[in-house]
Amino acid sequence: MAVTQRRFFERYCMRLTHGMVSTALAVILCFIPACFPFATNTSYAADASMKAKETIERKGIENNIDSLWNQISLGNMANIKLLLLAGVDPDVSNYNGWTPLHQACITGRTDIVKLLLEYEVEVNSIDHQGSTPLLIATMGQQTDIVTVLLKHGADPNIHGESHSPLLAAIGENKIDVVKALIKKGAKINYKKNTLGPPLVLAAKLGYLKLTKLLIESGADISITDNNGGTALHVACFNGHVPIIKLLLGKGANINKRSFDDETPIFLAVAGGRTDVVRLLLEHNADPNVITAHGITALDWAISKKLHEISSLLYAKGAQKAAQ
């Protein structure tokens, strides 16, 4: 308890010294020596800050935000503590909107992240690309840091230009992080980004366990991406048979059309996925849907000389669009 109290007091002493704490709070701090027995000397803040500045000067380190950035990049915890005690503001961002917390997250140093959070930095600071420290940590596969940030109130639903923390975790196949994000309220059916909905991304990448987890957590199997394709569409194009079977078992629409009127079986043919074409035909997929480009699955198979796939389609009554 004593260590925690001292850090609390040091933090506010630093802010008091540099005009970051109100007069009212300063008065309160002066009248609680019982809670802070080491705070009876009102010059404590000034002394601590001065000593830190003197130490920094002896080391040849400038007392500014650039030095804090540099020491975080180097991972020098001792110098980081000195700079903070000397009054460097850890919430200052650079020209890209990047804060020291962003930088700490990319280095993978959980201890530095925790230290900055002790100084009450903004956990949801957003850079000019819309990236938060949580997104940076997730993209960098920094599981421990993600856990710490979530415990300190990081919002999993702040999105970057093309990414969200949930999409980043799916992209890295980090099941534990995905679970943690969902538990903290990550929007599982969010689709307003270039990568599409989480379920579609998981199916596209062939991550069966993640696909199962997302469905069990409430993902809509009919949700579409920016092309109007579903998880079944992308799984068929990429040949992920276990995921295709899972989606069909969950009632996915086997003849769903994308914005270009492409069905899952058309995409399976376009991807040259013979085993997928066979599976879809066994589940009564319609091979005669004409796309927006005026062709059928058989037209494509013939044009690409996919003889085995053409035979499978013929056997199920497939026709050319011109017939």
Question: Which residues, including other chains, have CB under 8 Å from residue 215's CB and lie 6 or more apart?
Answer: 199, 221, 246, 250
Q: Give a yes or no: residue 2 inside a domain.
A: no
Per-residue model confidence (pLDDT) at position 323: 59
Question: What is the number of structural domains in the chain?
Answer: 1
Q: Give a yes or no: residue 286 inside a domain.
A: yes
Q: Give a yes or no: residue 21 inside a domain.
A: no
Residue 115, both tokens? 């230290």
Per-residue model confidence (pLDDT) at position 17: 43
CATH number for the domain that contains residue 221: 1.25.40.20
Q: Determine whether 147 is exposed, middle or buried from the number of CB atoms within 10 Å of its CB (0-12, 13-18, 19+).
A: middle
Q: Give a yes or no: residue 101 inside a domain.
A: no
Q: Determine whether 122 is exposed, middle or buried from the number of CB atoms within 10 Å of its CB (0-12, 13-18, 19+).
A: middle
Parent domain of 257: 192-322
Q: Give a yes or no: residue 219 inside a domain.
A: yes
Q: Give a yes or no: residue 299 inside a domain.
A: yes
Q: Give a yes or no: residue 51 inside a domain.
A: no
Q: Give a yes or no: residue 297 inside a domain.
A: yes
Q: Nearest-5° angle of CA 95, CA 165, CA 167?
A: 120
Per-residue model confidence (pLDDT) at position 284: 98
Q: Which helix (DSSP H) or strand (DSSP E) does residue 181 occupy?
A: helix 175-183
Residue 123, both tokens? 């956990």
Per-residue model confidence (pLDDT) at position 4: 41
Per-residue model confidence (pLDDT) at position 61: 84
Would you give per-residue pLDDT tens digits along the chain (323 residues)? 333 444 444 554 454 444 444 434 444 444 444 444 444 454 666 677 788 787 887 888 888 899 999 999 999 999 999 999 999 999 999 889 999 999 999 999 999 999 999 999 999 999 998 999 999 999 999 999 999 999 999 999 998 777 899 999 999 999 999 999 999 999 999 988 888 899 999 999 999 999 999 999 999 999 999 999 999 999 999 999 999 999 999 999 999 999 999 999 999 999 999 999 999 999 999 999 999 999 999 999 999 999 999 999 999 999 999 75
